[in-house]
Amino acid sequence: MRRLPGRPEQPRRSRPEPAVVHRAVRVTVAACAGFYTFRYGLHQPVTATYALFAAVAVGVLARVEGGARARVRTLLLTLPFAAALVCLGTVLAVHAWTAALGMAGVGFAVAFGSVGGPRLVGLANGLQLFYILPCFPPFAPDTLPQRLAGVATGLVLLAAAERLLWPEPPPTDYRDRVARAARALARLADLAAAECAGRRPAAADGKADGKADGAVVPARALALLDDLRFSRIPMMERPAGPGAVDRALAHCATTLHYIGAELLRVRRLGSVGGPYPQAAVLVTATAHALRAAGCGVRAGGPVPSAAPIEERIAAFEVARTAPGPAGAPAPAPAPGPGRTAAARLGLGTVALNAAEGARFLVLATRTARHAPASPDDTPPDRRPGPFWYAHEPAAMLWWRRIRGNLTTRSVYFRNALRTAGALSAARLVAGALDLTHGFWVLLATLTLMRTSAVDTRTALRPALVGTACGAGVTAVLLLAVGEHPVFYAAALPPVMLFAFTAGPVLGLAWAQGMFTVVIAMVFTQLAPAGWRLAEARLVNVATGAAVGILAGLLAWPRGGGQDLRRRTAELLDRSAAALSETVAVVTGTGPARGALGRARHSALLTEAQYAQYRSERHDPAEDGPDWQAAVLTGQHTVRGAEPLLARIPPGTAAAGPDRAAALVRRADQVAAAFRGQGAALLARAPADAAERAVADARGALRAERLAATRLPAEPASLYTVDVSLWLTGLLDDLARVPGNTGPAPDGPH
């Protein structure tokens, strides 16, 4: 089969990994133990069916990841929700239309529950099945106790198997990734501090000259920062839940990216504007804060305090505005005194930015460790502040996440609507056609439907081929063996083990084919069955696949890529509004109107859309821009504005109305560059005009900083430099969006 564009070809595994085999053994043992106990030991076929079904639904069709303890906890927490869905399905099975209406509600609620984080994403398919099976005839509410007993038994047995049979070790914790990145940035800060002080940096081992570390340390830090991207992390390990801890860990990641960018700018500006001893002391304090956060983010480590870095920041603020050579920009050697003085001013600003980032990192780390939150000192007109989530109860955080995604701009909302529509339609079709074992129709729709029509069509061919082959094997088996339950009881465990091992290794065709054989062996032990059981399986899978394809074609057929350009352009537009509003607030030329919060929300929606886009096949033409760079640009806009607003009192960022108006004009130029890049993305046009706008805005900001060198070293002129450097950093981020991943221009820009 020809490989579709947009998805790198994956090497076929020739043999299963141990984890795949171990998982197959656990599910097989749990499913067969419950099934045989109730079918042959207690002669309760209904309970036996639901015990096997529960173990397979959660163990195979859902994704329960993590270490053994985490898996057991997830399975036991799933039990009450599974029981509620079984009760609901049993009651609504009275009519096909009531079952379909219930399917629409359950389908939407369970799929939309994915906004709650990766664990709910992994459980979604399994939870759907707990409603699907009982919502089909026969309508037998009197068997509800047996059904619930079977579900409870299956889940408890699976939890016991997870704990006792080759228990999985915990995967790499995101906290460990954050800790490693923080330590690498601390080493980069040591390097930058030594260069700011005008001395040669020590090597990592402390025994030799560290000149070679000048290239190695930044490269390692950037690599570890790249490992924090959600697109680089398995879905189940991402801190993407609505709770305060997950939000704090995600905050740590974006803050580390911000600190890394500022430390690189410290090194660039230090080569022209140094030595600057006060900045060196501040960057050293930043390194200490990074190490404290790296140690404290892990469970069991000492919870860091923000007091040391806050004291250093306050001392530096006093020192850089003090008269005399200790605080004022030093006279620059010819040639180019203005350039050197501007670089020195900029060096102080980026050192302060890195320190502010380290302070925010420590505060986010404290939240991730459940430490008491500091009072929110954000003025009411500029709330929510950067750590608003640390002051909200868990229920309110969930409500904010749900409310924020109740829009067609959210991929979670779109996927939930698509799933609900497809499953309810499949239930109506199965009821209208009076299909035998109509449950298989919805199972096929659920397992074959993807988030884009292309991916659904791609899954269709191997699924139908595999099902047809499995149906053929099943028909031959039923004709040859006949009604001999003992044979099927003996053959079921090895066949089930092979099926659950072959599927992940050999692909969808093998998974569908072997699953067809497995369920045939199960049903022949519950009631007499002939070769037409195989025919019913093939018809039902084809019907379910047809419904899934139709739903995929009607509801956002291009999946995450459908509006990625529009969402990214919207993110750049809202980031432009946020930076303009921030400059207006600090210069006293305008009030806060919530643009920063809207930019933060837009970044979350765009990041979710990009994550889904990465999981789909897509048009190679969409690969041109660096979508992740666009998301980071939006995040850096927010993360950079937050410390500026906390540090600069409103109306004090410029020395007089003329300077304020000039700074606002520069911000408008940067905002225009953001919007120009967004327009280029929408038009699929070269970003030449946007790149010229970036260059023009960068030149204007450089002129603004040169003008600041001719003013007294008072807070207003220094704040002007702070704002100017922040805007320049955003231009550096924006320049990477068209796909240019090279370094920012050299020099004190």
Most confident of 61-75, 83-97, 164-178, 586-600: 83-97
pLDDT at 632: 84
User: Angle CA(613)–CA(615)–CA(616) in degrees, nearest 5?
Assistant: 70
Distance CA 744, CA 333 (A): 25
SS3 347: helix
Beta bridge partners of 202: 209
What's the average model confidence in pLDDT over 247-272? 88
Q: Lowest-pLDDT range, 226-235, 642-651, 683-692? A: 683-692
pLDDT at 460: 74
Which amino acid is present at 8? P
What's the start-to-end Cα distance of the chain, in Å? 52
Residues with Cβ within 8 Å of residue 436, at least 6 apart in sequence: 536, 540
Percent of the chain whose pLDDT exceeds 90: 26
SS3 209: strand
pLDDT at 159: 93
- Is 52 exposed, middle or buried (CB count within 10 Å of its CB: 0-12, 13-18, 19+)? buried
Q: Lowest-pLDDT range, 610-619, 641-650, 679-688? A: 610-619
451 — phi, psi (to 5°)? Answer: -80, -5
Band of pLDDT at residue 713, cut at 50, 70 and 90: low
Distance CA 708, CA 715 (A): 11
Question: What residue segments make up the domains of the chain, in order of their start?
Answer: 174-396, 415-554, 563-735
CB atoms < 10 A from the CB of 653, how many?
Answer: 31
- Is 54 exposed, middle or buried (CB count within 10 Å of its CB: 0-12, 13-18, 19+)? buried
364 — phi, psi (to 5°)? Answer: -65, -40
What's the average model confidence in pLDDT over 458-471? 80
Q: Lowest-pLDDT range, 177-181, 330-334, 359-363? A: 330-334
Distance CA 504, CA 506 (A): 6
Cut 0.85: pTM above it: no
Chain CA centroid to CA 473, Å:
42
Question: pLDDT tens digits for 13-54?
Answer: 445 678 888 899 999 999 999 999 999 999 999 999 999 999
CA dihedral 568, 574, 578, 580 (to 10 degrees): 100
Mean pLDDT of the chain: 81
Band of pLDDT at residue 322, cut at 50, 70 and 90: low
Specify the CATH number of the domain 563-735.
Answer: 1.20.58
Question: With left for phi above 0 and alpha for psi between -120 and 50, is residue 684 left, alpha or beta?
Answer: left
E-strand stretches of 566-612: none
What's the average model confidence in pLDDT over 442-453? 77
pLDDT at 561: 62
CB atoms < 10 A from the CB of 465, how many?
Answer: 14
Query: Given a cut of 50, is residue 255 above it in pLDDT?
Result: yes
pLDDT at 156: 95
Please give the residue that has the higher pLDDT: either 596 or 561.
596
CB atoms < 10 A from the CB of 232, how many?
Answer: 12
Question: pLDDT tens digits for 489-515?
Answer: 899 999 999 988 888 888 888 888 888
Q: Lowest-pLDDT range, 31-45, 300-314, 463-477? A: 463-477
Distance CA 464, CA 547 (A): 14
Band of pLDDT at residue 392, cut at 50, 70 and 90: confident
pLDDT at 649: 86
Query: Given a cut of 50, is residue 286 above it in pLDDT?
Result: yes
pLDDT at 6: 42
Question: Which of 416, 427, 625 is CA-nearest to residue 543?
Answer: 427
195, two tokens: 């260069």
What's the average model confidence in pLDDT over 560-588? 86
Q: Cis peptide before 335, with omega less than 30 degrees from 0?
A: yes
Question: Which of 449, 537, 405, 533 is CA-nearest to residue 116?
Answer: 405
Distance CA 9, CA 396 (A): 43
Distance CA 316, CA 575 (A): 30
Question: With left for phi above 0 and alpha for psi between -120 and 50, is residue 528 left, alpha or beta?
Answer: beta
pLDDT at 176: 93
pLDDT at 742: 40
Query: Given a cut of 90, is residue 482 above it in pLDDT?
Result: no
What's the average model confidence in pLDDT over 102-126? 87
Which amino acid is present at 697? A
Q: Lowest-pLDDT range, 6-20, 23-37, 458-472, 616-630? A: 6-20
Helices 118-132 and 411-432 pack at an angle, to 10 degrees, of 10
pLDDT at 335: 37
